[in-house]
Amino acid sequence: MKRTKTKSKALKAETKARQKQEAALKKRREILTGIWDKTPIGITENHFKHKSLSFGSCNIAQGCVHGCPFCYVTSTFTKPLIKLFQQRGVSDPRAGWGQYLFLRRWDEEHFLKSLAKAELMQIPAGHDGNRAVMFCTTTDPYPVAAGAVEECKAARQLLRYALELIRDRSTLRVRIQTRSPLATEDFDLFKSFGDRLVFGMSIPTLDMKLSHAYEPHAPNVKLRLAALQKAKEAGLNVYVAMAPTYPECNDEDIRTTLLEFRNLDLVTIFHEPINVRGYNVKRIIDSAKDAEASIIPNTSVFDSPVKTMLYGLEQLLAVQRIATELGIADKLKLWPDESLISKSAFMANRQESLKAKYPGIRLTPEQRQWLGKADEQAYQQHLSWVHGWWAKISDWPGVPPQQGWTTPKLPAESPFTVTLPEGLK
């Protein structure tokens, strides 16, 4: 009892300190805000590969106030889009990610047209989105910006209105994905969708110091977890995106996070590590410095594609292993990145592992021959594991589970481990 009290006191103090820090950071950050008059709010087809999140997106803004430095959104920026940002005063929209927010304007006719089109869309086989529209995929649906408080409130009203239109004028499903506990204000509306809506938060870790280093401007992870708990209590269908886990997320950290998720009885636990895209590694370094984080992010894991593969694969395998131990592997939907099937990086990792295990070894012709076959076999097993996860369609309440899919076999040891047979040594 005493221990619980001390723990909750410590948690309160930690939360308070973090909130103070967040408030100070928000004050310091200058966010350029405005209206994105170019394209109004609408539903567009997205081109997610293997994610099983949604077939359509509805984004209420250009830019995102959370400015997570690892975010991939900027890697999709085309030259014409960059030009549009520059015309609105953002000189470098990639480097300045998180420092601008342009709310999209509302045009009812445009929205309804896009809704009708989405409703009739023939979703090709393999494009598994559970007929869901996702709010949002390139921004957070619940923005708060110091210089645009009223505008953000108005945007949230528009979000509600758009959701009501989808609920009442279509049969589409909805996936809400946010990092903001402000979403709790809309739980009544979410509830009115029944099984047509799932609500989720991105929570990579519950370690406050780590999250402060990697996403200093996003809301406190403990508050995000509390919002998920509240959603569960409100009777919503809840999922989580454990995305992305950081290089410092070791087994202990992953276990702590997954244990909390287990208590929530989630529809799905999505997971991915950080994937290197465009400028995101530099942004991670700069952002942690700017936020005066107490942890310096270990970005050395991104020094080469070979190292990045090692980090990414280790994290994915750790999540599958620990989720299996905790009895929640059936909830998982892992997102192995396409870079993880690079054969050259895979073989280079096997080489590294061999060198580390047998320092100074000079392979005999027999050993070389054996190794060639073992490498190929390991790679084929790895490919089948990756493809297995890509083929998984995430669960949806009320929809029968995917037929014929089984959890990809977890390798007994790292796919990079090489053990030469005794007789060949």
CB of 323 to ligand SF4, least distance (A): 22
CB of 179 to ligand SF4, least distance (A): 5
User: Can you say how many angstroms the Cα of residue 82 is from the centroid of all Cα atoms in its chain?
Assistant: 24
Q: Strands 100-104, 61-62: parallel, antiparallel or unpaired by DSSP? A: antiparallel
Detail the DSSP E strand segments found in 191-303: 197-202, 237-245, 269-273
Detail the DSSP E strand segments found in 179-265: 197-202, 237-245
Task: Give CA–CA dist 313/311, Å, rounded.
Answer: 6
Q: What token pair was written down for 296?
A: 């310096």
Conformational region of residue 186, where left means phi above 0, alpha means psi within -120 to 50, and beta covers everything else:
alpha
- Residue 22 binds ligand SF4 (CB under 6 A): no
- Residue 241 binds ligand SF4 (CB under 6 A): no
* Residues within window 139-168 making contact with ligand SF4, judged by CB under 6 A: 139-140
Q: Toward ligand SF4, which CB reaches closer, 71 or 145?
A: 71
CB of 44 to ligand SF4, least distance (A): 16
| 32, β-bridge pairs | 100
Query: Which is nearest to 144 in space by CA: 178, 96, 191, 187?
Result: 178
Detail the DSSP E strand segments found in 42-167: 43-45, 56-58, 61-62, 100-104, 132-135
- Residue 66 binds ligand SF4 (CB under 6 A): yes
- Residue 276 binds ligand SF4 (CB under 6 A): no
Q: Strands 132-135, 100-104: parallel, antiparallel or unpaired by DSSP? A: unpaired
Q: Toward ligand SF4, which CB reaches closer, 64 or 348?
A: 64
- Residue 183 binds ligand SF4 (CB under 6 A): no
- Residue 67 binds ligand SF4 (CB under 6 A): yes
Please check whether residue 41 is in contact with residue 113, taking contact to mean a CB–CB distance below 8 angstroms: no
CB of 176 to ligand SF4, least distance (A): 13
Q: Which of 31, 73, 148, 208 binds ligand SF4 (CB under 6 A)?
A: 73
Q: Which of 43, 58, 71, 269 binds ligand SF4 (CB under 6 A)?
A: 71
* Residues within window 103-142 making contact with ligand SF4, judged by CB under 6 A: 138-140
Q: Which of 68, 221, 293, 316 binds ligand SF4 (CB under 6 A)?
A: 68
Q: Toward ligand SF4, which CB reaches closer, 73 or 174?
A: 73
Stretch that binds ligand SF4, among 21-29, 66-74, 182-190, 287-295 (CB under 6 A): 66-74
Query: Which is nearest to 246 in space by CA: 293, 183, 200?
Result: 293
Q: Toward ligand SF4, which CB reaches closer, 135 or 416?
A: 135
Residue type, 230: K
Detail the DSSP E strand segments found in 96-247: 100-104, 132-135, 173-178, 197-202, 237-245
- Residue 179 binds ligand SF4 (CB under 6 A): yes
Please check whether residue 331 is in contact with residue 323, taking contact to mean a CB–CB distance below 8 angstroms: yes
CB of 287 to ligand SF4, least distance (A): 11
In the stretch 342-381, what mask flags binding to ligand SF4 with x, by CB under 6 A?
Answer: ----------------------------------------
Q: Is the peptide bond before 244 cis (omega within 30 degrees of 0)?
A: yes
Contact residues for ligand SF4 (CB under 6 A)?
A: 64, 66-68, 71, 73, 138-140, 179
